[in-house]
Amino acid sequence: MEATFCSTFQRSSRAEPLLLRTVGARHRNRFLLPVARDNKFSPLSFAPTGYGSSKIALFKVLSAEKGQVHVVEKSGVEELYDELAARLLPSASVSSSPNFKHIVGLAGPPGAGKSTLAHEVVSRVNKLWPERASSMDSQVQPPDVAIVVPMDGFHLYRSELDVMENPEEAHARRGAPWTFNPSRLLTCLKNLKIHGSVYVPSFDHGVGDPLEDDIFVNVQ
């Protein structure tokens, strides 16, 4: 799985891709997590990296930053989720600008755990935010400050697959990179940067197509 992490606040921010390398299984289950040294951003990634002869999965999360990779070990996946959420909060909580946002992008093959990771980390960020934000009124129920934008919302419509050169293959391989609409995602990101909020699509599994403007990413 690959990920990028950037901020919409700094114009000079540059999203940096992450690379995962395959490592062999060891004698005990371990989870590895990067600790980035830069307070401005920390690219994150999480993925199973293969099985060895002992059939024990080894998970690794890498942070590619200025040509360096910082890794620490964790004993379980729950601790990974906790640490990933904690890495997002410090720099976010000190910003007073309502337009300051962190965007974490996850990419990986079907079943890699993108949705699970996203929802687990978002849940923790929203839970921890009131504890980190000193200006928060403890008597007021705080709004969620993190939200998951599912990649399924950026699928090409079935009608768009129908007009491809090989519609049967297009439908059969839906989920492949070329069956998504990256320009739609780019438009959403540009609107978020310019306006501070944006409506993004979700996916209607009953219909089998994206549902436009179904998720609101607000200025908070």
Q: Is there a single domain that holds both residue 119 and residue 217?
A: no
Secondary structure in 3-state letters for 133-172: CCCCCCCCCCCCCCCCCCHHHHECCHHHHHCCCCHHHHHH
Taking the whole predicted model, whether its pTM rises above 0.85 is answered as no
Q: Is there a single domain that holds both residue 139 and residue 163?
A: no
Calculate mean pLDDT across residues 151-157.
Answer: 94
Q: Is there a single domain that holds both residue 177 and residue 200?
A: yes
Q: Is there a single domain that holds both residue 195 and residue 129?
A: no
- Count of structural domains within the chain: 2
Q: Is there a single domain that holds both residue 119 and residue 179?
A: no
What is d(CA 176, CA 180) in angstroms, rounded to the nearest whole number?
7
State the pLDDT at residue 137.
56
Contact present, 122 and 81 (Cβ < 8 Å): no
State the pLDDT at residue 37.
39
Instruction: Give 118-144 pLDDT, tens digit per residue.
Output: 999 999 998 988 777 655 555 556 678
Percent of the chain with pLDDT over 70: 55
Best CA proximity match to 41, nearest among 113, 80, 90: 90
Question: Is it the case that residue 48 has pLDDT exceeding 90?
Answer: no
Instruction: Give 57-98 pLDDT, tens digit per residue.
Output: 444 444 444 455 556 467 788 988 888 888 887 655 555 555
Concatenated DSSP letters of the chain = -EEEEEESS-TT--------------SS--EEE---S-SS------EE----TT----EE---EETTEE--EEESSHHHHHHHHHHHHHHHHHT---TT--EEEEEE--TTSSHHHHHHHHHHHHHHHHHHH-TT--TTS-PPP------GGGGBPPHHHHHTSSSHHHHHHTBTBGGGB-HHHHHHHHHHHHHHS-EEEEEEETTTTEEEEEEEEE---
Which domain does 102 fall in, by range? Answer: 1-145
Sequence length of the chain is: 220
User: Last residue of some domain: 96, 114, 145?
Assistant: 145
Q: Is there a single domain that holds both residue 95 and residue 199?
A: no
Q: Is there a single domain that holds both residue 110 and residue 183?
A: no
Q: Is there a single domain that holds both residue 180 and residue 72?
A: no
Instruction: Give 88-123 pLDDT, tens digit per residue.
Output: 876 555 555 555 677 888 877 878 888 998 999 999
Q: Is there a single domain that holds both residue 13 and residue 77?
A: yes
Amino acid at 58: L
User: Last residue of some domain: 145, 169, 190?
Assistant: 145
Q: For the packed helices 77-93 and 114-132, what is the interaxial angle rounded to 10 degrees?
A: 50
State the pLDDT at residue 155.
95
User: Last residue of some domain: 145, 169, 198?
Assistant: 145
Q: Is there a single domain that holds both residue 6 and residue 25?
A: yes
- pLDDT, mean over the chain: 71
